[in-house]
């Protein structure tokens, strides 16, 4: 990359996240990336808080779901001339310094999509119930895509603009994570996993997946297949 500007856009969808949103946005901004914050219809003043920072700020008039918010942010970023797109969680689970790790294979053109995996190192701690749920999700993904993925539900990912344009996210809610994996396989995109840190705080745990949500995701995916 000699002298050509590479525009990196980090998409951070959020919903009622006043407590940690400013920290999260600031940590990514501090590293010099473009941040696209997408308000998925928050009912508190998360939007106003985000507006005080130098981010691109979009807002869904009604709550559609994290998948929809990501798709909105990605479409916007592509329109802004993004070369690379990163997805990043707003709740403080992700570490901004991992973004450079995600971008490396894309810059070297060894992959079209880079997926963060929390199982490639022992730095992350995870409650056992979550671990079991994720193992089940792994099996489901293996059945539907034919591939064993290392981490099937990690919000930390990076795409080239070309890959982002090809991938269609129709699942508005949490099933989008599995849908993205299916799309990668369907489109024969080159993908690679890199180890990333995921921090489980009390705060993010309360907002995290529960068994009922997992069942909901399975149903969403099944309905999607009927289309």
Partner 1 sequence: MNLAQFLLIGIVLFLVWFYFSRVRSGASDRLFLLGFGIVMIIIILQPSLATDAANFLGIGRGADLLLYLFSLFVVFCLILIYQKLRALDRTNTQIVRALSILTARQPKMPPDHDNLAERDS
Kindly list the residues in this chain that would bind partner 1 in the complex (CB under 8 A).
Answer: 1-8, 29, 32-35, 38, 51, 53-62, 64, 68, 71-72, 75-76, 79, 103, 107, 170, 172, 223, 227
Q: Give the nearest distance from C-beta 142 to partner 1 in angstroms.
A: 26
Q: CB-wise, 13 or 155, nearer to partner 1?
A: 13
Of residues 55 and 115, the one with the C-beta less far from partner 1: 55
- Please identify, using beta-carbon distances, which residue of 107 and 189 lies nearer to partner 1: 107
On whether the CB atoms of residues 194 and 114 are closer than 8 A, the answer is yes
Q: Are 46 and 18 in contact (CB under 8 A)?
A: yes
Output the smallest distance, CB 158 to partner 1, in A. 13
Closest by CA to 31, choosing from 80, 101, 110, is 101
Nearer to partner 1, 79 or 128 (CB): 79
Q: Could you give the C-alpha distances from 210 to 52, 69, 93, 134, 185, in angstroms and in order? A: 33, 21, 16, 11, 27
Helix 176-186 to helix 66-79 angle (10° resolution) is 50
């Amino acid at each position: 990359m000699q002298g050509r500007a590479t525009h990196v856009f980090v998409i951070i969808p959020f919903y009622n996240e006043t407590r940690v949103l400013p920290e999260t946005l600031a940590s990514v901004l501090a590293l010099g990336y473009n941040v696209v914050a997408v308000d998925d219809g928050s009912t508190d003043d998360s939007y106003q808080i985000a507006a005080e920072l130098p981010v691109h700020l979009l807002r869904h008039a009604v709550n559609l779901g994290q998948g929809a918010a990501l798709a909105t942010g990605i479409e916007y970023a592509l329109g802004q001339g993004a070369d690379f797109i990163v997805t990043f969680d707003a709740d403080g689970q992700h570490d901004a310094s991992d973004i450079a790790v995600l971008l490396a294979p894309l810059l070297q053109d060894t992959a079209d999509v880079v997926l963060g995996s929390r199982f490639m190192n022992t730095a992350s701690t995870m409650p056992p119930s979550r671990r079991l749920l994720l193992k089940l999700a792994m099996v489901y993904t293996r059945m539907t895509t034919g591939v064993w993925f290392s981490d099937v539900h990690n919000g930390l990912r990076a795409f080239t603009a070309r890959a982002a344009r090809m991938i269609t996210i129709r699942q508005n809610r949490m099933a989008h994570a599995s849908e993205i994996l299916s799309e990668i396989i369907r489109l024969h995109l080159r993908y690679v996993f890199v180890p990333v840190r995921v921090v489980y705080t009390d705060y993010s745990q309360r907002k995290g997946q529960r068994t009922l949500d997992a069942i909901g995701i399975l149903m969403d995916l099944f309905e999607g297949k009927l289309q």
